[in-house]
Structure 1
Amino acid sequence: MKLIDNKGRIFGKINIFDILIIIVLIFGLSWGYQRYTNNQPVAISEQSEVLVQIFIHDVRNVTTNAIQEGDRLHFSENHQFFGEIVDKQVTAAEKLVETEDGKIVKSQIPGKYDMLITVKGFGTITNRSIIIGSREIRVGMPLKVYTNLYEVNTTVFVVEDQAQ
């Protein structure tokens, strides 16, 4: 019996093209498995103090008055404790507008304000992320937070690990 017959089958049973496809699939699957499971271990530190500045854009005066230092914020998505407000800065909200001559200028929005709020919380710091509650916190990410009096959409502006 020949190793490869006249129809291109090995031992008259398996096509060479089929074997090549199976070999490519095996290599591809093993490469993918190693790629996604061969990660570096996560170094976990103990809970430490984290200061997070969150930015609230374009809110009314009622909201700026409701938000006070000492308020305890919670995440809206899972109701876990986020932190305590230690500082708030309120400025007039601005937007870019085009003038009649085609220039782009900053213009204040009447009756609207921007807020920069500093929140002190406790989180787990790893070599990959900062986790407060069960939520990873990163600059630029949107957060929805609340107290018993208000709920606001914010954006993370600054994250500082106070243990460093």
Structure 2
Amino acid sequence: MTILDSKGRLFGKISLLDLGAVLVILLVIVGIFFIPGTGSVAQIPGSSAEKSVEVDLIVRGLSVRKPEDLMSQFREEKKTNIVIRNQPSGQVDIISVKELPRLVIVPQPDGSAKALPDPRPDTFSTDILMTLGGQATITNDGPVLGNSKLKIGTPVELEGKDYNFNASVIDVRVE
């Protein structure tokens, strides 16, 4: 009796494809249940220390009826929830909030341009500069807040009791 016949069966009884499939399934089961993992894929290797971080955010064109009410709410609450790259990253402190003036570029007769205050009536749009603070893990690649790297240009989402809007990181300072 031959070990492998013309139909690819071992000793004429077990197909090599079936045997291979059973071995793959067993290896997957062993890998899942018996070999412990090293943790989340989002964990970043390197030196890690917990430090205080300040982040400056800019919010452009936020549609709000009364910006002064929103500013006072930020000052009263002192904390906000932050979402980085669609991953909830906990709560951070609101250190400062500043409403930016609305400006319009106006061409001048000599060909130059000037930024002047926008003369249009209230258009329900405002720009805000915010400074947030919190604890972040410092790695070789920079600060990590809630398993998400925090760098200039990173889009973040701020969420509170009465608001939910997007902002962009413009500065990160490690204390």
TM-score by length of 1: 0.62
2:52 alignment counterpart: 49
CA RMSD of aligned residues (A): 2.5
Q: Give me the identity figure in percent.
A: 18
Q: What does residue range 67-146 of structure 1 map to in structure 2 within 5 Å?
A: 67=71, 68-69=74-75, 70-75=78-83, 77-98=86-107, 102-109=111-118, 110=120, 111=122, 112-146=125-159
2:164 alignment counterpart: 151
The residue type equivalent to 1:157 in the other structure is I
Quote the Cα distance in structure 2 between the aligned partners of 1:85 and 1:102.
Answer: 42
List per-residue Cα deviations over 1:23-65 (Å, max 9, x = no partner). xxxxxxxxxxxxxxxxxx9432222111111111233463453
Size of the aligned set, in residue pairs, is 122
Deviation (angstroms), 1:84: 1.4
The residue type equivalent to 2:81 in the other structure is L
TM-score by length of 2: 0.59
Quote the Cα distance in structure 2 between the aligned partners of 1:146 and 1:97.
Answer: 36
Quote the Cα distance in structure 2 between the aligned partners of 1:142 and 1:85.
Answer: 17
Asked if 1 retains the 8 angstrom alpha-carbon contact of 2:157 and 2:164, the reply is: yes
1:160 alignment counterpart: 173
Deviating runs (4+, > 4 A) in structure 1? 99-102
Gaps spanning 5+ residues in structure 1: where?
1-40
Gaps spanning 5+ residues in structure 2: where?
1-43
